[in-house]
Amino acid sequence: MRLQNTLTGSVEDLVPVTPGRIGLYVCGVTPYDAAHVGHAMSLMVYDVLVRYLRWRGLQVTFVSNYTDVDDKLIDRAAQQGRDPLELANANIEQWEREQQALGLILPDVRPRVTREIDNIIGMIEEIVANGLAYVTPAGDVYYRVRSKADYGKLSHRNIDDLRTGTRFEPGDAKEFALDFALWKAQKPGEPAWPSPWGLGRPGWHIECSAMARRYLGERFDIHGGGVDLIFPHHENEIAQAEAAQHAPGPTFANIWMHNGMVQRDGEKMSKSLGNVVNVAEALDRWSPDAIRMYVLSSKYRQPNNLTDEAMAAAIAGIERLTAALRPGPGTAPTTIDIAASRARFIEVMEDDLGTPQALATLFDLARAINRGRDAGEEIGAAQATLRELAGVLGLTLVERATDEAAARLDPAPFAKLASRLEVACSGNDVASTIDALVERRIAARTEKYWALADTIRQELDALGVTLEDSAAGTRWSVKR
């Protein structure tokens, strides 16, 4: 597989540090508030990367952190009169439930700053010992950026460019404007931990260097995050990891992968603009599949513009793929080239996670299945391939909305209709009973029992279920 590497600016082969294994670190959320759909959509990129690599037989360790102590979190907790850690825990629990509701695989390791303090202090001590950090009289520890000759290599800028626009704050004990805090001495009322420099807490950047090294080793395969994190966060992660390095040679992440930010109607999604869509709202309006289809429809590095039109297109796309999975009674030999679809899917995914092209492959396969169904071909194997490849992208293709709507109907009249027509009925599962009735109608039409086919349509219609015939087969929906 080849991935665009921000560090080198080119598309590079992913060569595992340890053959057969991939270590992936992705910067996680600061749980001062509920996560929004932008966070979920960013994470979906790495979710698909993990699913794909695992499907290709690699053993992936996926690590993503929680910054559960931070200025914003402390401020928010103070406003609400809550303990910052309790607020963080509540938001983390909600976010993990939401990730599952969205069909996101949870990272294998989800370290939290407050549980990694010793690990973080250990790394800061190494950096200080190596002369790349200094301790102020107040007990703050700063990274000495000017001692790192290649500082700026990830964001492709040099220290002089970066310095423009930064300034010393009054009372700042830093030697240089770009120096950043590894350890912050305690301020009154803030959570703090003992350290060799007195009571305090870690700076923001150090946690990721320390956690990535602890769970993935000094050198690992992929580090991901939003493009907004390239500078200063990721630049500083590299600087810290290299300053604490034990063995000579390349260290930290081989490939730096960055996803574009999610916008809402062309604007950055942010609390201050008031255009944030939270996960609960998103799930209320759209299925997890539709949200995923929307995310995967554009290249992961591009900004993602969430509009109602784009979501409507994503919903239609999911319906097309799902419709192709409806059963077909054909028995003629298939003419669908399943192996070609599979090869094309792999080819485009290997090319820097080409999800828009991978979706195009699925749509082509769905069209071939529909043509095969119309021609009376056996389409089961092609449908199994479509389901498998869609699953690699995390798409379930479950007829969720329809099934849920059917579950709200009274099962009794459907059971009665099924029994009258001698169709096997699934008791209280209205959706399955409707499926069985629809199949009976397809069979009736095939056998040219037009009157029976019409009766089934009319009776279902009277019970609130509409049938729609198309080249893709018959689909039913519950009338609103």
Contact positions vs Zn ion (CB under 5 A): 27, 208
Task: Compute the least distance from the CB of residue 205 to Zn ion, in Å.
Answer: 7
Would you say 208 or 306 has its CB closer to Zn ion? 208
Q: Which amino acid is at 283?
A: L
Would you say 209 or 322 has its CB closer to Zn ion? 209
Task: Compute the least distance from the CB of residue 475 to Zn ion, in Å.
Answer: 45
Question: Residue 284 and residue 290: Cα distance in Å, rounded?
Answer: 12
- Residue 360: enclosing H or E segment and its boundaries? helix 355-374
Task: Compute the least distance from the CB of residue 208 to Zn ion, in Å.
Answer: 3
Task: Compute the least distance from the CB of residue 33 to Zn ion, in Å.
Answer: 18
Would you say 112 or 373 has its CB closer to Zn ion? 112
Task: Compute the least distance from the CB of residue 223 to Zn ion, in Å.
Answer: 8
- Residue whose C-alpha is closest to residue 237's, from 255, 253, 248, 222: 253
Task: Compute the least distance from the CB of residue 41 to Zn ion, in Å.
Answer: 18
Question: Residue 385 and residue 167: Cα distance in Å, rounded?
Answer: 58
C-alpha distance from residue 190 to each of 1, 73, 152, 198, 319 (Å) = 46, 11, 32, 14, 51
Would you say 208 or 382 has its CB closer to Zn ion? 208
- Residue whose C-alpha is closest to residue 285's, from 304, 311, 261: 311
- Residue whose C-alpha is closest to residue 409's, from 462, 339, 336: 462
The owner of tokens 């001590």 is 125
Task: Compute the least distance from the CB of residue 216 to Zn ion, in Å.
Answer: 13
Question: Residue 43 and residue 63: Cα distance in Å, rounded?
Answer: 12
* Inter-residue contact 215 to 207 (CB < 8 Å): no
Cis geometry, peptide bond prior to residue 329 (ω within 30 degrees of 0): no
Task: Compute the least distance from the CB of residue 234 to Zn ion, in Å.
Answer: 7
Task: Compute the least distance from the CB of residue 226 to Zn ion, in Å.
Answer: 10
Would you say 257 or 460 has its CB closer to Zn ion? 257
Task: Compute the least distance from the CB of residue 20 to Zn ion, in Å.
Answer: 26
- Residues linked to residue 476 through DSSP beta bridges, in sequence order: 467
- Residue whose C-alpha is closest to residue 298's, from 315, 314, 276: 314
Would you say 256 or 294 has its CB closer to Zn ion? 256
Would you say 86 or 228 has its CB closer to Zn ion? 228
Task: Compute the least distance from the CB of residue 217 to Zn ion, in Å.
Answer: 17
- 190 phi/psi in degrees, rounded to 5: -95, 150
The owner of tokens 């990891």 is 241
- Residue whose C-alpha is closest to residue 334's, from 380, 365, 366: 380
Tokens describing residue 75: 């401020």
Question: Residue 449 and residue 456: Cα distance in Å, rounded?
Answer: 11
SS3 219: strand
Question: Residue 397 and residue 381: Cα distance in Å, rounded?
Answer: 16
Tokens describing residue 172: 């700042």
* Inter-residue contact 294 to 373 (CB < 8 Å): no
Task: Compute the least distance from the CB of residue 27 to Zn ion, in Å.
Answer: 3
Cβ atoms < 10 Å from Cβ of 291? 25
Question: Residue 394 and residue 52: Cα distance in Å, rounded?
Answer: 9
Q: DSSP alpha helices (H): ranges in 102-255?
A: 117-129, 159-163, 206-216, 235-243
Would you say 27 or 314 has its CB closer to Zn ion? 27
Question: Residue 276 and residue 33: Cα distance in Å, rounded?
Answer: 12
